[in-house]
């Protein structure tokens, strides 16, 4: 053995030279956590009995009790004498000292900064040289991770020889080996140890693969972090690798199906819209239902502000706190779950540059089969005929219009050529006119690096997404800088992101009555052309068939004109900045102060030129005003946090104590100006119109109606909304030997939103876990790698209640231009948060060398003090009174399954998750009166929330086929005016009579019985393949669009489903579809189960195939990584739902009336090509 | 250790500051807790009370005009089932229009009550207080008068009540409700100005009080108070002038709910307009009622549809025909008359006749004033030889004079002629209980105490 010259780099950057024969490094796993173990020499080791052991066994004991790992050649202590241990506890340093002195006195060790032990074998001068020293061979190389990022500090040992080194900042190393065929053992914490045969090479590149073990994975838990193994609550995590390759503008879309118990709903395909995220069911009736987002420690209450503030490629990790115990540290904002997003930080090493780009093409994922012009003409004729024969029974269907007395008996003249089969007539597919193939492009550039003093991660991103509905698009540009500085006991960091988005919106959602483009396109007669021969828009759909003879075809605006001519631009600036200072006051005691600001500014410019008619026959062919509005909303929120954190390890007892105070305040201001100018004054944008109206306001003589000046058109409104929150929080975490886990926390929140008599609330939690796999009796079962049972209990709140709801507020109401004020509500001096109390139990296991893992959880939580607009006698002046009353239960199971068989070169990982949630209303006000609501002004579209049922049920008549003969009609209860061919409804109360109110019943609910996700990843050499599915089962959708598109009246275009309609006794159709009749009777048009559809679906969410260039090529090109990929998103959906998107939820802001489709922006199917580069 | 103490003290300091930190005034809204102090604030509150009346126009249409023998329609369309049920006397206690009317009136009463509750403590001049109180009480009286005629017994709410209190408040007998109405109107009559551009006046209070007395068959009191109005107002020479939007606040109008088409929130939506004159909701009884020869009753034109709207593409009854001024918006600004001089004359005529039939009395004069204005020949004791025939003539005159003005259904109830007239107008046999509406079922459920808050007989 020879003395070797070895370079060792301490973490303070000083270069130290040691002369030694060999070395041992001791690593504390927390090197990679946010709190490094400063000194472990005082850590105690417990010896359970007197025994005599080898030095290797001593190291094993230390390893098992402290999480320190020893890496040393097998034979270092081969010849060393054994060590005698006595029962009791002993400090690590003493134990090592004793071991060495007893066994191998020529070995000395020193503790260095940051968990490094250097062990020196002192040259024994007297030792005779027995071998001729071999000529060492100098080799060099580089160690990187799979992304090509260099890894500093990697241990390299020559196998079988006491010889090694570490990589430097750039991941590079130089070492001497004993022979050209030596084998290097390359190891680094968190990565799988590799043995690399040199095979004569003197320069090698080693790629370390992250170890699949999740034991050391750090989970951010709110005001701190914890090892995943020690978590006893319920926290879902998404790994970053699962977020790549999604051609979406915001990250939330990539989460769908990935998290058990977290329902991610894309209710609209409109570019840029945030998704609706629901954690473990609906826990509120009227308050907010969105989770709280925490981005790098900064709480953000609103989904769009959170999702836009973070670019997908900048995300380091996403965690969702699901159970009340985990979320309780966020107190009155915890009930809907917490989504914690951590962004990337620079890593030690040379500057690393990453560049990502993808370009994709999007197409509408589905078109609805609508009738063509000829089919529609026949439907329309049948409808008018039926209306005529119904009122004039002596007539026949062949009677000419002249014989038919009323407009709606007659058939529009324009339809005759179609009915006569003339070919080549206008046959517009309105869906084709409003949808288009659309481009999506994403660019991302990041630069990161750092050293022991500071690290940085700066990035910029840009994405451009055209919408699949014409004229809609979304552009986003973001910048991020995360910088932190270490200086002695201080750590100072800044995380900032600024995002700018620009959207061209179109009015795609909503019914035709609101000029919703999609609903208008579906309802519009295909006999109309988009443009007139002179190139102008064709507005005949807006009343040609009602002027003169009123055929009663409903007026619909040309959706192409609405999309193209109305400008609706939204700009959003979002700045999120966070500065923190951490000070290690004494060992293990850290103080942290953080100040964060989130500034959001929304600018909306809306301009509707005069050529867009007002909908309605009285406006047909008339220019409208030029309508304009400009609005600005500014939301500024600051957060001030002070926390104190103390970590202590006493023997095998680990403690962590957190205390803190936080203050937050948010203010939201908005201004809106509207104006219109008559069509005689042309304008081309909103500002012109506003300014023209503003130039010289002359109200004229208000009492003289002939005074034109008296038209007041400039209208301005403004608003200011503020809230504040002050909190104290504390958490205690304890574990014994990583085996028995305990955690408890409490938060006290005071909020401006709560009434004086209930200003403060306390939110406690406790959880415990037992890692059975750490017990002796299981340790030898080598097929069990991890087995943990855990349970938790906690209390959280929902403070998403209106800002000033407890106060008696006055609202404005004018009378003849005089400003009036009126009481707006009944004040409630006890108004407060909603409270969720939930317990959670779970089992986590990893088996067979972590090739199989599963996790099962059960939770059960009651939400009480539900905020409810409780009916009160009108003698109060109001019909309802906002109170904390009512109770709802959510309970369910979540199962996660992971399969990662070890197939050598082929890396295969599959994750499956499934979540069942049961939602049940337990109390509703003092009397338990059900809440019945109608939606969208459709007076028969009832929702009902009642005790014993989930929230927000459809409460409707039950349609059960059509009567196909008079005989059948006579035998079955029916409405007085029901005729053959009309719907048969179920006599729900079985009283022999149909009653539109008494025969309604609960017929469905939007909430699914279960949701599931299935994602698979395969890697083979340079190739990677990801396939992800997600699905939902058992929910229903109230498809109100069917009021028009499946009404069989002939006044709207209908789906081809209506070709199966009842036509005659010999042609009864499919027995379920009603006859055509413009004056539909028998309550066919009343909302019933005819409009309710199964919303279950399975979606092939994402498939991506990538290829990474091999290292050999990369080295020549000087790149760390070059990967190209192709990906498809939202590829196919298996569903029986006839609309565009079964996830649709028009009123996603309210819980009492969910699941309505009344026109929606369809989802896109996207195929993209992309490239990831880094160097 | 020092640092810890320092930090803890900072935390406690911040904690103690948190009280102020958590008190945020709603800067964007007015807070009633520190409102109702200045004249301007009371004026704003009063404006809010008037504004409520604008929405009550719908109630006059839905609950009185469609109920009456003026309007009828064959079959409900989407959204008109409740109206149809009322029209056809098939309504029940779940009828949304009835429920909304109740809620609307009760909210209107609250708006008056916040004024009367807060006025006494306000440091303002007595004359101002009396004026404000008088107007608020006039609006409250008008509201209660409508309620008592629609539902009979109603809860008497003269101050703001909490949700807890409201559960104990039952329906009061009709007689007590009338006492409250009379008190309010007597106060208004004595304290309001004679004229007040479209707002409540002492004249309006007198006219309404007269109607209240008449409805209670307190004929002498009615005659006294109504007589005070004779000569203070005058009939317009042409009936069309009464409703002409260029002649707002004309000498015939005593109280009307006002609209203004120049401001988008102050206009209204084309009462009874139709797109197709073949589908008007008018009964044949109404269409056939007007004398066409030898001269045409001028009031016929008030009922007939004319092409209207600024683009002349909708049909509007003459009474609500608004001269187009705004070239782009189809908004209308007709006021809705509540009390006008013709009504006073006919009420007085009715009251006098009920006191005693006088062949040479002024009852004939008042009746004929209204008739002759619309080109009809005066009626004489020859035509109307006795009290009964005179009574019928006054009622018929009212039928001709007040279509769509929210009078007819109440006239039928007051004169106990609803059964007969509905039968002749719509062919429906109504039952006595249907002279009152059902109390909204939701209210009965909320109070859940049938001994104090009961349903009207005949409904369930």
Three-class HEC string of A490-505: EEEEEEEEEEEEEEEC
Nearest chain B residue (CA) to A758: B22
Nearest chain B residue (CA) to A642: B11
Residue bearing the bigger pLDDT, A22 or B427: B427
Q: Which of A1164, A1142, A1161, A1163 is nearest to A509 (CA)?
A: A1161
Q: A981: alpha, beta or left, given left = phi > 0 and alpha = psi -120 to 50?
A: left
Chain A residues whose beta carbon lies within 8 Å of the beta carbon of residue B101: none
Q: How many CB atoms lie within 10 A of CB A964?
A: 19
Q: Classify burial at A595, counting beta carbons within 10 Å of its beta carbon; exposed 0-12, middle 13-18, buried 19 or more.
A: middle
CB contact under 8 A, B260 and A702: yes
CB contact under 8 A, B107 and A877: yes
CB contact under 8 A, B24 and A723: yes
Q: What is the 8-class DSSP label of residue B458?
A: T
Please name the residue ranges forming H helices in B119-173: 126-151, 163-166
**Does A818 contact B at CB distance below 8 Å?**
yes
Token readout for A991 is 């009283």
Q: Which residue, chain included where needed, has tokens 């070890």?
A: A902
CB contact under 8 A, B10 and A642: yes
Q: Which of A31-40, A981-990, B167-176, B179-188 has the lowest mean pLDDT?
A: A31-40
**Cα first-last separation, chain B:** 76
CB contact under 8 A, A712 and B263: yes
Q: Which residue, chain included where needed, has tokens 């009574």?
A: B391
**Does A550 contact B at CB distance below 8 Å?**
yes
**Does A672 contact B at CB distance below 8 Å?**
no
Q: How many CB atoms lie within 10 A of CB A5?
A: 9
Per-domain residue ranges of chain B: 199-240+339-415
Q: How many CB atoms lie within 10 A of CB A583?
A: 16
In Å, what is the CA distance from A395 to each residue of A404, A405, A416, B274? 8, 11, 19, 27
- 960-1019 in chain A: CB under 8 A from chain B: 996-997
The answer to whether A497 touches A310, Cβ cutoff 8 Å, is yes
CA–CA dist B339, B53 (Å, integer):
14
Q: What is the 8-class DSSP label of residue B62?
A: I
Q: What is the DSSP string of A175-213?
A: EEESSTT-EEEEE-TTB--EEEE-TT-SEEEEEEPBPS-
The answer to whether A734 touches A653, Cβ cutoff 8 Å, is yes
CA–CA dist A1125, A1024 (Å, integer):
9
The answer to whether A255 touches A765, Cβ cutoff 8 Å, is no
Q: What pLDDT was estimated at residue B28?
A: 78
Residues paired with residue A793 on neighbouring β-strands, in sequence order: A766, A839
The answer to whether A160 touches A185, Cβ cutoff 8 Å, is no
List the single best residue of B2, B43, B47 to mutate versus A (max A Cβ within 10 A). B47
Q: What are phi and psi of B283, to 5 degrees?
A: -75, 155
**Does A1072 contact B at CB distance below 8 Å?**
no
Chain B residues whose beta carbon lies within 8 Å of the beta carbon of residue A711: 262, 326
Q: What pLDDT was estimated at residue A18?
A: 33
Measured between CA atoms, how close is B373 to chain A, in angstroms? Answer: 26
- Residue A129's contacts (CB-CB under 8 Å, 6 or more residues apart) are none
CA–CA dist A96, A107 (Å, integer):
10
Categorize the per-residue pLDDT at B393 as very low, low, confident or very high, splitting at 50, 70 and 90. very high
Q: What pLDDT was estimated at residue A676?
A: 83
CB contact under 8 A, B162 and A876: yes
Nearest chain A residue (CA) to B19: A750
Q: What pLDDT was estimated at residue A1167?
A: 95
Question: Please, what sign has the CA dihedral across residues A178, A182, A183, A184?
Answer: positive
CA–CA dist B172, B176 (Å, integer):
6
**Does A902 contact B at CB distance below 8 Å?**
no
pLDDT exceeds 70 at position B329:
no
CB contact under 8 A, A705 and B323: yes
The answer to whether A786 touches A229, Cβ cutoff 8 Å, is yes
**Does A878 contact B at CB distance below 8 Å?**
yes
Chain B residues whose beta carbon lies within 8 Å of the beta carbon of residue A624: 328
Determine the distance from the C-alpha atom of residue B135 to the mean position of all C-alpha atoms in its chain, rounded to a whole number. 15
List the single best residue of A808, A816, A939 to mutate versus B (max B Cβ within 10 A). A816
Q: What pLDDT was estimated at residue B423?
A: 95
- Residue A149's contacts (CB-CB under 8 Å, 6 or more residues apart) are A171, A347, A349, A352, A1120, A1174
Q: What are phi and psi of A1007, to 5 degrees?
A: -70, 130
Nearest chain B residue (CA) to A589: B4
The answer to whether A1038 touches A941, Cβ cutoff 8 Å, is yes
- 376-435 in chain A: CB under 8 A from chain B: 406-407
Q: Which residue, chain included where needed, has tokens 């990453």?
A: A354
In Å, what is the CA distance from A763 to each residue of A105, A332, A912, A926? 57, 7, 33, 26
Sheet (strand A203-208) strand order: A172-177, A137-145, A203-208
Q: What is the DSSP string of B369-435?
A: HHHHHTTPPPP-TTT--SHHHHHHHHHHHHHHH-TTTT-HHHHHHHTT-HHHHHHHHH-----GGGG
Question: Given the DSSP bridges, would you call strands A137-145 and A203-208 parallel, antiparallel or unpaired?
Answer: parallel
Chain A residues whose beta carbon lies within 8 Å of the beta carbon of residue B21: 663, 665, 724, 726, 752
**Does A657 contact B at CB distance below 8 Å?**
no
> What does the pLDDT average to over B124-138?
95
Q: How many residues does chain B have?
A: 460
Q: Classify burial at A124, counting beta carbons within 10 Å of its beta carbon; exposed 0-12, middle 13-18, buried 19 or more.
A: exposed
CB contact under 8 A, A879 and B103: yes
**Does A757 contact B at CB distance below 8 Å?**
no
Cis preceding linkage at B293, omega within 30: no
Measured between CA atoms, how close is B64 to chain A, in angstroms? Answer: 21
Q: What is the DSSP string of A1071-1123?
A: SSSPPP-TT--TTTTS-BGGGEEE--EEEEEEEEEEEE--HHHHHHHT-SEEE
Q: What pLDDT was estimated at residue B213?
A: 97
Token readout for A158 is 């020559």
Q: What pLDDT was estimated at residue A23?
A: 35
Q: What is the CATH number of domain B199-240+339-415?
A: 1.25.40.390
Chain A residues whose beta carbon lies within 8 Å of the beta carbon of residue B46: 820
CA–CA dist A236, A220 (Å, integer):
11
User: DSSP E strands: which ranges in A924-1022?
Assistant: 931-934, 942-945, 953-956, 959-962, 983-985, 1001-1005, 1010-1020
Chain A residues whose beta carbon lies within 8 Å of the beta carbon of residue B326: 708, 711
List the single best residue of A681, A822, A869, A1091 to mutate versus B (max B Cβ within 10 A). A822
CA–CA dist A161, A143 (Å, integer):
20
pLDDT exceeds 90 at position B450:
yes
The answer to whether A931 touches A286, Cβ cutoff 8 Å, is no
pLDDT averaged per 10 residues, chain A (length 1175): 35 33 32 36 70 74 67 61 70 70 59 52 48 69 79 79 75 83 78 79 81 64 87 86 75 85 89 88 88 93 86 90 92 93 88 93 95 96 94 92 91 95 94 96 94 92 95 95 92 95 93 94 96 95 88 94 95 96 91 95 95 86 88 96 93 93 94 85 84 55 46 77 94 92 95 90 95 84 88 94 89 86 92 93 91 94 90 91 91 94 88 95 85 84 93 94 93 92 94 90 94 93 92 95 93 95 93 93 92 96 92 87 93 95 87 91 94 92
């Amino acid at each position: 053995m020879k003395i070797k010259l070895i370079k060792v780099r301490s973490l303070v950057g000083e270069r130290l030279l040691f002369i030694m024969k060999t070395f041992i490094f001791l690593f504390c796993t927390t090197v990679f956590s946010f709190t490094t173990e400063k000194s472990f020499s005082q850590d105690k080791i417990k010896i359970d009995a007197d025994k005599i052991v080898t030095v290797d066994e001593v190291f094993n004991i230390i390893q098992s009790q402290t999480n320190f790992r020893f890496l040393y050649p097998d034979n270092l202590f081969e010849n060393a004498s054994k060590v005698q241990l006595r029962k009791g506890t002993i400090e690590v340093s003493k134990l090592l000292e004793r071991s060495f002195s007893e066994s191998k006195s020529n070995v000395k060790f020193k503790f260095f900064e940051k968990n490094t032990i250097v062990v020196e074998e002192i040259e024994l001068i007297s030792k005779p040289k027995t071998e001729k020293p071999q000529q060492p061979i100098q080799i060099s190389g580089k160690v990187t991770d799979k992304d090509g990022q260099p890894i500093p500090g990697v241990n390299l040992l020559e196998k079988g020889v006491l010889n090694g080194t570490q990589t430097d900042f750039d991941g590079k190393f130089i070492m001497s080996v004993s022979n050209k065929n030596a084998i290097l053992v390359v190891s680094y914490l968190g990565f799988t140890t590799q043995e690399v045969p040199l095979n004569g090479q003197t320069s090698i590149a080693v790629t370390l693969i992250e170890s699949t073990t999740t034991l050391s994975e750090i989970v951010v838990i709110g005001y701190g972090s914890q090892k995943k193994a020690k978590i006893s609550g319920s926290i879902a995590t998404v790994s970053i690798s699962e977020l790549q390759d999604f051609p979406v503008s915001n990250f939330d879309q990539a989460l769908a199906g990935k998290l058990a118990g977290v329902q991610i709903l894309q209710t609209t395909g409109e570019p840029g819209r945030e998704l609706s995220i629901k954690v473990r069911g609906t826990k509120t009736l009227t308050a907010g239902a969105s989770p709280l987002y925490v981005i790098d420690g900064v709480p953000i209450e609103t989904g769009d502000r959170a999702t836009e503030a973070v670019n997908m490629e900048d995300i380091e990790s996403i965690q969702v706190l699901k159970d009340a115990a985990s979320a309780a540290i966020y107190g009155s904002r915890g009930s809907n779950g917490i989504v914690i997003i951590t962004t990337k930080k620079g890593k030690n090493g040379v500057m690393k540059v990453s560049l990502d780009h993808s370009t994709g093409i999007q197409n509408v994922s589905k078109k609805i089969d609508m009738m063509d012009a000829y089919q529609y003409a026949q439907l329309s004729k049948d409808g008018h005929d039926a209306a005529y024969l119904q009122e004039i029974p002596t007539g026949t269907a062949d009677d000419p219009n002249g014989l038919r007395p009323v407009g709606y008996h007659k058939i529009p003249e324009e339809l005759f050529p179609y009915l006569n089969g003339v070919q080549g007539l206008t046959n517009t597919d309105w869906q084709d006119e409003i949808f288009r193939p659309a481009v999506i492009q994403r660019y991302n550039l990041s630069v990161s690096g750092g050293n022991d003093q500071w690290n940085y991660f700066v990035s910029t991103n840009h994405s451009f997404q055209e919408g699949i509905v014409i004229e809609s698009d979304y552009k986003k540009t973001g910048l991020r800088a995360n910088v932190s500085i270490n200086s002695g006991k201080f750590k100072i960091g800044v995380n900032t992101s600024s995002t700018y988005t620009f959207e061209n919106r179109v009015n795609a959602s909503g019914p035709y009555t609101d000029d919703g483009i999609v609903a208008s396109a579906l309802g519009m007669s295909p006999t109309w052309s988009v443009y007139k021969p002179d190139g102008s828009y064709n507005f005949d759909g807006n009343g040609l068939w009602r002027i003169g003879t009123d055929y009663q075809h409903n007026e619909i605006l040309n959706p192409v004109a609405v999309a193209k001519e109305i400008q609706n631009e939204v700009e959003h600036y979002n700045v999120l900045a966070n500065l923190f200072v951490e000070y290690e006051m004494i060992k293990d005691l850290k103080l942290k102060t953080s100040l964060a600001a989130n500034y959001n500014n929304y600018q909306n410019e809306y301009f509707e030129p005069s050529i867009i008619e007002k909908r309605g026959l009285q406006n047909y062919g008339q220019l409208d005003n030029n309508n304009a509005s400009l609005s600005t909303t500014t939301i500024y929120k600051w957060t001030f946090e002070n926390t104190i954190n103390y970590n202590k390890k006493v023997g095998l007892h680990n403690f962590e104590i957190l205390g803190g105070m936080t203050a937050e305040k948010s203010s939201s201001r908005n201004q809106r100006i509207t104006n219109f100018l008559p069509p005689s004054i042309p304008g081309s944008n909103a500002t012109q119109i506003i300014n023209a109206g503003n130039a010289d306001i002359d109200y004229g003589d208000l009492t003289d109606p002939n005074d034109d000046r008296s038209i007041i058109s400039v209208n301005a409104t403004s608003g200011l909304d503020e809230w504040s929150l002050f909190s104290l929080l504390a958490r205690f975490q304890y574990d014994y030997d990583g085996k028995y886990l305990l955690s408890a926390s409490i938060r006290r929140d005071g909020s401006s939103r709560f009434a004086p008599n209930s200003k403060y609330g306390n939110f406690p939690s406790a959880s415990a876990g037992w890692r059975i796999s750490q017990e002796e009796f299981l340790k030898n079962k080598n097929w069990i790698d991890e087995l943990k049972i855990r349970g938790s209990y906690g209390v959280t709140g929902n403070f998403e209640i209106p800002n000033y709801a407890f106060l008696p507020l006055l609202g404005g109401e004018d009378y003849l231009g005089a400003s009036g004020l009126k009481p707006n509500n009944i004040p409630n001096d006890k108004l407060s948060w909603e409270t969720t109390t939930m317990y959670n139990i779970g089992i986590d296991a990893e088996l067979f060398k972590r090739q199989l893992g599963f996790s099962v959880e059960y939770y059960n939580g009651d939400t009480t003090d539900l905020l409810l607009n409780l009916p009160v006698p009108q003698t109060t002046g109001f019909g309802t009174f906002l109170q904390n009353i009512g109770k709802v239960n959510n309970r369910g199971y979540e199962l996660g399954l992971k399969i990662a068989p070890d197939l050598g070169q082929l890396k295969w990982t599959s994750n499956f998750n499934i979540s069942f949630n049961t939602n049940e209303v337990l109390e509703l006000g003092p009397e338990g009166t059900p809440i019945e609501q109608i939606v969208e002004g459709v007076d028969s579209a009832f929702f009902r929330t009642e005790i014993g049922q989930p929230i927000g049920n459809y409460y409707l008549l039950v349609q059960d086929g059509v009567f196909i003969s008079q005989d059948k009609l006579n035998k079955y209860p029916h409405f007085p005016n029901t005729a053959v061919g009309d719907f048969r409804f179920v006599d729900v109360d079985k009283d022999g009579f149909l009653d539109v109110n008494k025969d309604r019943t609960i017929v469905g609910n939007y909430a699914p019985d279960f949701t599931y996700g299935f994602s698979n990843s395969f890697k083979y050499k340079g190739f990677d393949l990801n396939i992800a599915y997600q699905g939902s089962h058992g929910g229903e959708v109230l498809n109100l669009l069917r009021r028009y598109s499946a009404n069989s009246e002939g006044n709207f275009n209908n789906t081809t489903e209506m070709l199966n309609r009842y036509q005659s006794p010999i042609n009864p159709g499919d027995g379920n579809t009603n006859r055509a009749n413009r004056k539909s009777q028998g309550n066919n048009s009343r909302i019933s189960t005819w409009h309710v559809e199964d919303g279950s679906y399975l979606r092939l969410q994402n498939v991506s195939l990538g290829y990474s260039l091999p290292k050999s090529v990369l080295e020549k090109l000087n790149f760390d990584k070059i990967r190209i990929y192709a990906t498809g998103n939202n590829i196919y959906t298996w569903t029986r739902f006839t609309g565009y998107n079964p996830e649709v939820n028009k009123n996603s802001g309210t819980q009492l009336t969910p699941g309505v489709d009344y026109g929606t922006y369809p989802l896109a199917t996207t195929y993209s090509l992309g490239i990831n580069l880094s160097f | 250790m020092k640092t810890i103490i320092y930090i803890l003290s900072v935390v406690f300091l911040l904690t103690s500051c948190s009280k102020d930190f958590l008190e945020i005034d709603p800067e964007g809204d007015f807070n009633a807790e520190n409102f109702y102090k200045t004249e301007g604030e009371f004026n704003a509150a009063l404006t809010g009370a008037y504004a409520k009346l604008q929405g009550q126009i719908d109630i006059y249409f839905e609950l009185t005009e469609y109920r009456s023998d003026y309007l009828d329609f064959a079959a409900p369309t989407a959204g008109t089932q409740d109206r149809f049920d009322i029209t056809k006397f098939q309504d029940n206690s779940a009828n949304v229009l009835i429920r909304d009317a109740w809620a609307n009136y009760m909210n209107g009463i609250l708006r008056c009550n916040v004024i009367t509750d807060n006025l006494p403590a306000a440091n303002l001049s007595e004359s101002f207080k009396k004026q404000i109180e008088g107007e608020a009480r006039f609006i409250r009286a008008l509201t209660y008068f409508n309620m008592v005629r629609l539902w009979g017994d109603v809860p008497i709410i003269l101050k703001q009540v909490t949700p807890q209190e409201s559960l104990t408040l039952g329906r009061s007998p009709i007689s007590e409700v009338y006492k409250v109405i009379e008190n309010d109107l007597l106060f208004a009559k004595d304290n309001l100005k004679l004229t007040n551009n479209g707002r409540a006046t002492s004249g309006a209070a007198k006219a309404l009080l007269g109607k209240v007395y008449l409805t209670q068959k307190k004929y002498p009191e009615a005659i006294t108070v109504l007589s005070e109005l004779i000569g203070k107002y005058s009939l317009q020479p042409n009936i069309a002038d009464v409703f002409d939007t260029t002649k707002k606040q004309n000498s015939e109008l005593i109280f009307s709910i006002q609209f203004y088409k120049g401001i988008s929130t102050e206009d209204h939506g084309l009462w009874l307009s139709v797109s197709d004159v073949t589908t008007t909701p008018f009964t044949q009884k109404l269409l056939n009622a007007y004398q066409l020869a030898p001269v045409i009753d001028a009031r016929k034109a008030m009922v007939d549809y004319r092409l209207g709207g600024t683009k002349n593409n909708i049909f509007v009854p003459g009474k609500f025909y608004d001269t187009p001024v705004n070239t782009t918006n189809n908004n209308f600004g007709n006021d809705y008359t509540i009390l006008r001089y013709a009504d006073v004359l006919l009420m007085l005529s009715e009251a006098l006749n009920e006191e005693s039939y006088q062949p040479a009395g002024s009852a004939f004069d008042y009746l004929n004033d209204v008739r002759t204005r619309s080109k009809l020949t005066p009626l004489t004791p020859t035509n109307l030889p006795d009290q009964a025939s005179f009574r019928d003539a006054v009622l018929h005159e009212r039928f001709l004079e007040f279509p769509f003005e929210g009078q007819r259904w109440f006239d039928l109830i007051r004169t106990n002629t609803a059964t007969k007239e509905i039968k002749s107008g719509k062919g429906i046999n109504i039952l006595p209980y249907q002279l009152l509406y059902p109390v909204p079922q939701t209210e009965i459920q909320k109070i859940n105490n049938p001994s104090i808050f009961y349903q009207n007989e005949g409904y369930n």
